[in-house]
Amino acid sequence: MPERTVAIASRTGLHARPAKLFVQAAQAQGVPVRIRVGDGRAVPATSMLAVLALGAGHGAEVVLEAEGPGADAALDVLAGLLSRDLDAEEPSDA
């Protein structure tokens, strides 16, 4: 199963707006994606409550894992998202 390790770049960690953007992006990938902090239990990346419950703060390393066709591309997209400071970016009107 492909996986990526990435440090959370958002100032507030994976909370509020950054978590919402991450969960929405995970839902759009079309493959099952899970996220965990360190050696902790992996949770569905599409669940806002599960992602918030991880308590991943700024600089925390998380592991993303996905399976199925397109898993590597999905992980690249999601890892790229988490490596940006989503708190500093302007919200889009999309």
Nearest CA to 34 among 47, 24, 21?
47
Give the active site residue among 4, 8, 14, 15.
Answer: 15
- Give residue 91's pLDDT: 65
> Is the CATH code 3.40.50.1370 the one for domain 3-82?
no
Q: Please confirm, yes or no, whether 15 is among the known catalytic residues.
A: yes
- Specify the pLDDT at position 94: 45
CA atoms in the 13 A half-sphere facing the CB of 91? 6
What would the pLDDT profile of 39-78 be if each residue is shown by its tens digit?
A: 999 999 999 999 999 999 999 999 999 999 999 999 999 9
Give the predicted TM-score (pTM) of the model. 0.91
| CA proximity to 61, closest of 7, 3, 11 | 7
Q: In this structure, how many other beta carbons lie within 10 angstroms of the beta carbon of residue 82?
A: 23
Residue 5 C-alpha from the chain's centroid: 10
